[in-house]
Structure 1
Amino acid sequence: MKRKNNLFRLLILISLTIGYLVISGFAKHKLESSTIDRISIDIERYHDKYLISKDEILKLSSLEEQKSRALGRKSINIKLLEELLDNQKTIEKSEIFFTLSGELHIQVKPRYPLLRVLSSSKNYYIDNHCIAFPLSPYFSAHVPVIDGAINDEILEKIVSVLQKSEGDDFFNHFFSGFFVSERHEITAFSSRYDEVIFIGKSEQLEEKLLRLKAFYRYIYPTLENKKIKTINLTFGKQVICEYEQ
């Protein structure tokens, strides 16, 4: 009797397993053969502005020509589409998935400009990973510009300074631009003050900027004559000011 009960339970278990596999296979086949109802695109915004358009995302993902006709889920290679978008210079990261309602959803995080390279032969943005990407035709970002004899070492140090400036109550939005001479000496310009700031070589850049910060916070407010033309940070641990004539 006990053996019959065990056999009966085994038959029920086998039947349920077969039924589950049949239903799962049917559901999977139906899901793969179903068409996509719509394509939705969500782009992360930069200061409430879009640096890339939804039409451009469709074009870059090769979905633009297909959006007017029915697309089967089986025809969409999500991994390949993500790689295609992630390889675009203007995009930092993308994520693509199907929703339960039959929608193909594309999430895009564009690269955010931290610095703009501006010269006669080059004009592009740099992000916080020091990666170059093209200007946006939809929005011009208000970020510091850099011009002159720029090399990778100087660029990386300036990007590092700007990254740290974002969390600094004094240096946040302090710099409006930089110029690099043929001797690779850096001159900085402030969005708050009129003085030209001569930094010099990029060595000990952070220490020089700490001196500049201390000068503006503790010395500058005490000066009766604030008609300063240039501030020079190249002399040891000093801050040398040249006044207007």
Structure 2
Amino acid sequence: MKKRVFTYLRFSGLVLLVVLLFAFTGKRNKERKIREVQIEFIEQQDPYVNEATVNKLLIQNEGKVTSVGKEILVLNTVEQKLDSHKMIEHSDVYLTVNGELRARIKQRTPIARVNAVTPFYVDITGNTMPLSDSYSAHVPLIHNVSEREIPEIFPLLKKIQEDEFLKKHVVGVYTNVKGKYELELRVYTFRVVIGEVEDLDSKVKNFKAFYQKALRDKSLNKYKKVSLQFSNQVVCTLK
């Protein structure tokens, strides 16, 4: 009987010890501060948002994130805070077992800049985004286009972004007096009249063929305007 009681007391003491150790470890873990913050910008992108900005977004106040206890930092809330930033497309925030806070950031990608009273970018998804305080994107400048007209012009902007030939040569997009779109080139002074945003593949194909022939003929500097708005035709106006 005494042996059984002794065994029971020893087992109870062991359980109590384990509970106390867990409680002590949990308390110490809660009291631990974040040791280090690592911020990674995924994909090769220009720095439209910098590490200092991300650090400020990681917590609700302006202090250092390393001064915050691990139990205070709610990762879902942190991710929502980062994702709400107008320069960030997506974020992934997590804590490592040794107390490091890591944030993986994917920025939004601007493909054009609209010259307005308050200038703004158009991103790869067709949405607007503000200019960055950290970096100025090297993208075509859009003139005479309002924010409400972005959905209409977006297929043209996307085509310029995705086509290496257009991306290399086009520096500006204008709306002419007839409401048609024209392209400004980096080197040559002639305007390329796209017309309405339709049949873009065919128009770009025709322009590339014209460009290569005129380049061989050394005649590209002779033109004032090159129109692609007529079906399967390239109509040129001399200076």
Matched, 1:153 2:155: no
Establish whether residue 231 from structure 1 lines up as the match of residue 231 from structure 2.
Answer: no
Of 92, 115, 135 in structure 1, the residue corresponding to residue 131 of structure 2 is 135
Aligned residues of 1:46 and 1:112 also touching (Cα < 8 A): no
Tell me how far 1:202 sits from its aligned partner. Answer: 1.3
Task: Find runs of 4+ consecutive structure 1 residues off by over 4 angstroms.
Answer: 21-30, 44-47
Deviation of residue 207 (structure 1)? Answer: 1.7
Q: How far apart, in 2, do the equivalents of 1:69 and 1:239 lie?
A: 62
- Counterpart CA distance in 2 for 1:232 and 1:155 is 18
Q: Percent identity among equivalent residues?
A: 26
Task: Report the secondary structure of 2:166's partner residue.
Answer: coil
8 Å contact from structure 1 (residues 32, 73) kept in 2: yes
SS in structure 2 at match of 1:122: coil
Q: CA deviation at 1:177?
A: 0.9
State yes or no: 1:194 paired with 2:166: no
Q: For 1:180, which of 169, 175, 182 is the aligned residue?
A: 175
**Paired position in structure 1 for 2:215:** 221
Match of 1:12? none
Query: Residue 188 of structure 1 aligns to a residue in which SS?
Result: strand
Aligned partners of 1:102, 1:205: CA distance in 2, in Å?
Answer: 53
Q: Does 1:62 align with 2:56?
A: no
TM-score relative to the length of structure 2: 0.80
CA contact 1:89–1:132 (8 Å) conserved in 2: no
Cα distance in 2 for residues equivalent to 1:200 and 1:69: 56
Query: How far 1:222 moved relative to its partner?
Result: 4.2
Q: Give the number of aligned pairs.
A: 222
Deviation at 1:205, TM superposition (A): 2.4
* Matched residue SS, 1:143: coil
Using the alignment, how far apart are the partners of 1:182 and 1:74 within structure 2? Answer: 61
- Cα distance in 1, alignment partners of residues 65 and 29 from structure 2: 21
Aligned residue type for 1:145: L
Q: Name which of structure 1's ranges 121-130 and 222-231 shifts more when overlaid on structure 2.
A: 222-231
Change (3 A) 1:215 1:230: same
Q: CA offsets, 1:77-123, max 9 Å, x none?
A: 0011101110111111111111232121222222122111112x231
Question: Judging changes above 3 Å, is the alpha-carbon distance between structure 1 residues 194 and 81 closer, same or farther for their aligned structure 2 residues?
Answer: same
- CA displacement, residues 169-227 of structure 1 (integer Å, 9 cap, x when unaligned): x334221110123643101012243321111111222221111111112x213435441
TM-score (norm 1): 0.78
* C-alpha deviation, 1:154, in angstroms: 2.6
1:94 aligned partner: 91
Q: Residue 59 of structure 2 contacts residue 73 of structure 2 at CA under 8 Å; is this kept in 1?
A: no
Letter in 1 for 2:152: I
| Match of residue 33 from structure 2 | 35
The aligned counterpart of 1:52 is: 49
- Change in CA separation of 1:202 and 1:214 when aligned onto 2, cut-off 3 Å: same
Alpha-carbon distance in 2 for matches of 1:28, 1:243: 80
Question: Does the Cα contact within 8 Å between 1:55 and 1:64 map onto a contact in 2?
Answer: no
Whole-Å separation in 2 of the counterparts to 1:46 and 1:116: 20
